[in-house]
Chains A and B, each alone.
Chain A
């Protein structure tokens, strides 16, 4: 079974440009999360989808970030316009609702460098 996949794995863009990150969750997982880790800091929660609905977007830093999950399958995270402080690694994770806990599985991350 395929895990959480993210694309691109690495991206270098100039300040002011736009970048769109994509996440394909594990098949059948209704919950999808975005996190990010900027240099030297802890992993921070950004937002959580349940199917196509945003359940919690309290971690989104500002309105330059837009996350979508049309159809409740894959998700995109767009940064427009990108700023230098947006550099870091963006992780996507997914989980399925069920008893006995709710294990979240992470992708390998999308590295973003804004220059």
Chain B
């Protein structure tokens, strides 16, 4: 699985959009970009994933650059409950189970 690089921490004002960047310059053509988050000590929570097109769901949007070497997770209206560690993971995931490699992630602080 490709390695990712994320900022250690970020701040965001409540109600504003939180934009979390991720670099994955060594991503392979068949690797997906996944985002998970861990709120306090809970289990990691799936947010969104994509291959090359931008994706949106009820939680967030995922913007992947055309060369797929980086991506941005967007929480459109951050709330205090979005304070968590966000993990960007790239992995092959279309034909079977593969281990998900967690890095240090980005610690997002949403402030009132």
| Interfacial residues, chain A to chain B (CB-CB below 8 A) | 4, 30-31, 33, 35, 42-45, 48, 50, 55-56, 59, 89, 91, 93, 95, 97, 99-109, 111
Contact = CB atoms under 8 A, between A and B. Distances in A.
**B interface majority secondary structure:** loop
A33 B95 contact: no
Interface size classification for chain B: 20 to 34
Interface centre among B43, B44, B104 (most CB of A within 10 A): B43
Interface in B77-112: 91, 93-104
B45 A106 contact: yes
A101 B97 contact: no
A4 B46 CA distance: 13
12 contacts: A4-B43, A33-B100, A42-B102, A42-B104, A93-B44, A93-B100, A97-B95, A100-B94, A101-B94, A102-B91, A105-B46, A106-B44
Contacts of B46: 103-106
B49 interface: yes
B32 A43 contact: no
Interface of B: 32, 34, 36, 38, 41-46, 49, 51, 91, 93-104
Closest 10 CB pairs of A and B: A31-B97, A102-B93, A106-B43, A43-B102, A45-B99, A106-B44, A108-B43, A101-B93, A101-B32, A101-B49
Contacts of B97: 30-31, 33, 48, 50, 55, 95, 97, 102, 104
A103 B35 CA distance: 10
